[in-house]
Structure 1
């Protein structure tokens, strides 16, 4: 697997901002996000809802339709919108600048993600939500989004050369992890001609106790895990997976690897790392890569 370097002329993404879903039952999905995951409902209309975990106006957008996950992904960028628009146009990509995408994001660049059918939204900042400061159950943020792609190498190149992502890890030759800030990954992609769309979306919990409290809450409401708890190899995050009402895979995680010094390129030392110092690598395809603790869910690695 080639690992292209980040281009100097790339748009500089700072974080994954939001994820868009289509759902046939808007009220059911709002109930799931507000009652199961404790998200704050910031705004809604007859066919759209905007939910958040914190200060940003939204990190989840629900629209009547589907069911379909990852119809759009919003990325916050460091630079002015006009500069990003110029860079992308010069690179040959069709980009539309819009003011009507969503409340809270009045100035957005919209473009097609190569090969997946999803829309990418680039914005400089969101308006603030009126959510309380992180209630006890609520995840701290939208952490990352994973998707299938029939053209992994070209999509990885697009993210690194055009959006400024950096390579973090690869499993075999089919699953790549990319970062846009200190977190191990904000986007990861699995090569597949069998599946398309979203692989999973992940929301971060503060620590293991916070994760356990949330899992207990889900269990009390008859919502069961289908994989985990466990610890991944790439990223080394503690993870659990369950399904939302539309059948989308939801990961709740904590303790993900972070890089504090890009010049050195090593992950922050952790006692469970395989090497010291630990840096980006290509992992063998085996049990310990997927879950250091043991059991594997075959569906999560089926491509």
Structure 2
């Protein structure tokens, strides 16, 4: 790929397929506090704020996370489509994707087959901010892939992402803006599909409110609270009703100065300045406070 990459500005939305739309919708509205913006028997659109949607729930025979990922771009779709074609990637321009995104450039993610949607902006949701358990935003989406090298090449060369960090030679973290990562991929010959999806809390107090509401609704954490060394976010993990792994987090690293190339200094950093690095595949990289997840690193 020798063409100039598309300029992705941020992660916009993710699609879930489920045999029980009502059950998953109730989880997002009652447990996580998302606002329901639009719905039909086959599809539901939910948001955390101004965007029309950041989660889409699709009716399907079997549960599947991360069937589609939507990214907002910093340029017009005509330009993006032209340069993706120059890079040898097939795209389709569509106006029937759904409410909130009237013009979308569709392509397929290599290695995983997931759909990728590129758009300039979403229709405003009309939803106001709250100070309850609702996350502040969709943070990042992780997936299994047969090749982290191939996926990294695609996202850097075609989508304009930057390398953020790696764990060994099998887990790569990629960013499209100042946030440490919007996409991360674990190499696996055994597993496929979504690894986890993450929603951001404003701060530790907000994270506590979110976790307390999980408990009230009968959901238990299976890992955390802890602190990842990679990205340094404080994390918690639980499963949604379909068994998808959901991370709630806060204090993710940010890179405010691209030219200097290091993350905004935090007292808990291991190095100063803290630059993108390849971490040893050990407990420290996964959790600076304690143990690995109960199932280990499923590869």
TM value normalised by structure 1: 0.97
In the alignment, is the contact (CA less than 8 A) between 1:232 and 1:291 conserved in 2? yes
Q: Which residue in the other structure is 2:265 paired with?
A: 269
Work out the CA distance in 1 between the residues paired with 2:2 and 2:51: 29
Unaligned runs of 5+ in 2: none
Work out the CA distance in 1 between the residues paired with 2:285 and 2:294: 13
Q: Which residue in the other structure is 2:117 paired with?
A: 121
Instruction: Using the TM superposition, give the Cα deviation of residue 134 of structure 1 relative to its aligned residue in structure 2, in angstroms.
Output: 2.7
Q: Equivalent residue of 1:87, what SS?
A: helix
Aligned Cα root-mean-square deviation (Å): 1.1
In the alignment, is the contact (CA less than 8 A) between 1:7 and 1:164 conserved in 2? no
Match of 2:250 among 254, 275, 283: 254
Q: Which residue in the other structure is 1:26 paired with?
A: 21
Aligned residues: 298
In the alignment, is the contact (CA less than 8 A) between 2:35 and 2:48 conserved in 1? yes
In the alignment, is the contact (CA less than 8 A) between 1:7 and 1:160 conserved in 2? no
For the pair 1:156 / 2:130, whether they are aligned, the reply is no
Instruction: Using the TM superposition, give the Cα deviation of residue 301 of structure 1 relative to its aligned residue in structure 2, in angstroms.
Output: 1.7
For the pair 1:220 / 2:216, whether they are aligned, the reply is yes
Per-residue CA shift, 1:158-193, capped at 9, x if unaligned? Answer: 000100000000000000000000000000000001
Q: Which residue in the other structure is 2:297 paired with?
A: 301
For the pair 1:47 / 2:42, whether they are aligned, the reply is yes
Q: Which residue in the other structure is 1:3 paired with?
A: none
Work out the CA distance in 2 between the residues paired with 1:120 and 1:127: 19
In the alignment, is the contact (CA less than 8 A) between 2:3 and 2:86 conserved in 1? no
Instruction: Using the TM superposition, give the Cα deviation of residue 222 of structure 1 relative to its aligned residue in structure 2, in angstroms.
Output: 1.2
Per-residue CA shift, 1:223-242, capped at 9, x if unaligned? Answer: 10010000001100000000
Work out the CA distance in 2 between the residues paired with 1:133 and 1:298: 35
Instruction: Using the TM superposition, give the Cα deviation of residue 152 of structure 1 relative to its aligned residue in structure 2, in angstroms.
Output: 1.4
| Moved beyond 4 Å, runs of 4+ | none
Match of 1:173 among 169, 174, 181: 169
In the alignment, is the contact (CA less than 8 A) between 1:258 and 1:267 conserved in 2? yes
TM value normalised by structure 2: 0.98
